[in-house]
Amino acid sequence: MAHVKTLVDSKIADKKVIIFSKSYCPFCTKAKHVFLRLIEEGKLSSDDYEVMEIENNPDCDAIQNYLQTVTGARSVPRVFINGKCIGGGDDVVAADKAGELVKKLLSYNSVVYVHSRPQNSVQSGLIMTTIMITLPAQPSLRLQVETVGVSSHQQEAQMSCGLITLAPGTPVPYDSSLSHTSSKSGLTVMSVVYGGFNGYDVTSCDIIISIIQVVMAGWIIGLNSLVLDTLIRLNGRNGSRDPTDVLLASLSITDILSGVFILHTCIYSLSKYQNTTECLVRMAVFHGALYSSIFHLIILTSDRYIKILFPYR
């Protein structure tokens, strides 16, 4: 019995997918067809897949008895993914249809890119960490995980993103140079950065946000400067101060200040607290009011500018 235990345990530990099967069993054939299709699609490497036909093995009964001890069922097929039994043939088919089978395959020896930035300004002292997972069998296939893991300086990381879980004992990388393989999770942890700025990692997302931020700020400042220029020209020509002109001047100055100060603060807050629903709602309301004012000014400015260039006769 000891050598059977060693054999089965070694098979489960060495292979990403191991099926204990009997060649004449239709349920075994059904499970094998699913994994062969995944191999053809490039979602599973043939080196990580093995089928152990046990009907001709002299220890067949002993193997099934040990499988019953481990999984609670003696029947075949017994399918193990990443060291865990997921059931039999019907369970494999059901998991495949639900899309869960590929997720289970992802949790084995995957490359996990972790980008973390210490946030001293966060009241709870949490560190927001973004995760991206790559299939080892097909590096070009990437899955962007929406869930954000959290950790603190005082405790080790426990990040769950639905596809994989970094269990307690796997520390979160705090520097951009970290690249190691966790012996407990079998995951290669790396940091994806484009450079450093004041001790923080700068990602492509930060660069895109910064470009959009500069363009929007320039657009707001330029547009409202045109409003002021239009009002100055109009008042210089007519020599009177219309209450509407005073209101427009006040609104344009306010929007110029928003482009100089408020816009940058809002985008900074969105980038730092991107998974906080309340903050997103508050920012959405503010930006809605801000842009409503700006577009209103566009219409009024266009009307006044046309009036100056082509006076009514």
Where among 50, 74, 106 does a domain terminate?
Answer: 106
The verdict on residue 122 lying in a domain is no
Give pLDDT, residue 169.
40
Provide the domain count of the chain.
Answer: 2
CA pair distance 292, 299, nearest whole angstrom:
11
Bridge partners (DSSP) of residue 112 are: 133, 189
Where among 90, 106, 122 does a domain terminate?
Answer: 106
Which pLDDT band, with edges at 50, 70 and 90, does 105 fall under?
A: confident
pLDDT at 140 over 80: no
pTM recorded for the entire structure: 0.38
Residue-range definition of the domain harbouring residue 233: 205-309
The verdict on residue 302 lying in a domain is yes
Predicted confidence (pLDDT) per residue in 162-206, tens digit: 333 444 444 433 333 333 344 344 444 444 443 444 444 455 666
Predicted confidence (pLDDT) per residue in 11-25, tens digit: 888 888 899 998 888
The verdict on residue 263 lying in a domain is yes
| Phi, psi torsion values for 223, nearest 5 degrees | -60, -45
Give pLDDT, residue 174.
35
The verdict on residue 157 lying in a domain is no
CA pair distance 185, 19, nearest whole angstrom:
22
Percent of the chain with pLDDT over 90: 1
Q: Tokens standing for 224?
A: 């409202």
The verdict on residue 270 lying in a domain is yes
The one-character DSSP state at 261 is: I
The verdict on residue 153 lying in a domain is no
Residue with the bigger pLDDT between 197 and 161: it is: 197
The verdict on residue 39 lying in a domain is yes
Where among 106, 126, 145 does a domain terminate?
Answer: 106
Torsion of CA 221, 260, 217, 194, to 10 degrees: 150
| Phi, psi torsion values for 246, nearest 5 degrees | -65, -40
The verdict on residue 152 lying in a domain is no
Bridge partners (DSSP) of residue 189 are: 112, 180
Q: What is the CATH number of the domain that holds 12?
A: 3.40.30.10
Which pLDDT band, with edges at 50, 70 and 90, does 138 fall under?
A: very low
Give pLDDT, residue 241.
62
Give pLDDT, residue 142.
34
Percent of the chain with pLDDT over 70: 54
Q: Tokens standing for 201?
A: 């990692």
pLDDT at 118 over 70: no
Predicted confidence (pLDDT) per residue in 54-94, tens digit: 988 888 888 888 888 888 888 889 999 878 888 888 888 88
CA pair distance 174, 201, nearest whole angstrom:
10
